[in-house]
Amino acid sequence: MFRHMAALQQVARRSICSSARRQVDNKVPQKQKLFQEDNGMPIHLKGGSSDALLYRATMALTVLGVGYTLYELLKAAFPQKRD
């Protein structure tokens, strides 16, 4: 029984460790060239439309968060009178 378990573990270990890895193209030189261009665009927007979308979403959440914080501070500073 123990030999069968040991053999099964060895087969499982071999199939996981010896599996062929997928080859991935190295895109670092292209990205370096893109980000080092002097085209007047800020670095945080050079990644394309996804960077612009993330930037706008971050700014919107920041403005909403500041607005809500100010609202809560004003509500705490001037509490409603109880009758």
Q: What is the pTM of this model?
A: 0.57
Q: Tabulate helix, strand, coil % of the chain (nearest 5).
A: 70, 0, 30
Is residue 53 domain-resident? Answer: yes
Domain count, the chain: 1
- How far is the C-alpha of 65 from the C-alpha of 77, rounded, in Å? 18
Q: What is the extent of the structural domain holding 57?
A: 43-77
pLDDT tens, position by position, 15-72: 555 555 678 889 999 989 989 999 898 888 888 899 999 999 999 999 999 999 999 9
Is residue 70 domain-resident? Answer: yes
Backbone angles phi, psi at 40, to 5 degrees: 80, 0
Backbone angles phi, psi at 69, to 5 degrees: -65, -45
Is residue 51 domain-resident? Answer: yes
